[in-house]
Amino acid sequence: MIIREIAPEDNAAVAQLIRGVFDELEIPKTGTAYEDASLDKMYTAYELPKHIYFVVGHEGIVVGGAGIAPLANGDGSVCELQKMYFAKEARGKGIGSKMMEQCLAYAKKVGFKKCYIETMPFMHDAQKLYKKFDFKYLDAPMGCTGHTSCPVWMLKDLL
């Protein structure tokens, strides 16, 4: 499996992957990344300064992805780990840790001081990964992501 930056031709595959994971795990579609306008044009959405989206390719197929972007309505020092999803065949193989390392390295490189994430309460494996990377639970959301159905908020100090 290879981690690389998203390319324009990955847009449809990334959108299909993310929607497929939502269906598989029965994640609410309202108030989550499923509704994000950027879902069908991820390459363009992450072309902006201090934005990046990585995909995991396996035998020519996109089997995962995750991105970093400034936290919406934040102070500019906080980024958000966004749209980190993996197909079933990519889970449990250490790819999540490698993806997290790459995303956090980018966040530090471009000067973010903290990294924020929102997730679902039943996504225990994801939370286990976030805790492994020293994310701490918060009592309230940060910024204004529009993901009102994600009631678990976590933050990591990047310094």
- Could you count the other beta carbons within 10 Å of the beta carbon of residue 156? 20
Residue keyed to tokens 């390392």 = 101
**Domains assigned to the chain:** 2-157 (3.40.630.30)
pTM check: above 0.85: yes
Residue 85 has pLDDT above 80, yes or no: yes
Q: List residues bridging with 4 in a β-sheet.
A: 55
Residue 65 has pLDDT above 80, yes or no: yes
Give CA–CA dist 18/24, Å, rounded: 10
Residue 145 has pLDDT above 80, yes or no: no
Q: How far apart are the first and last CA of the chain?
A: 30
What stretch of H or E contains 14?
helix 11-25
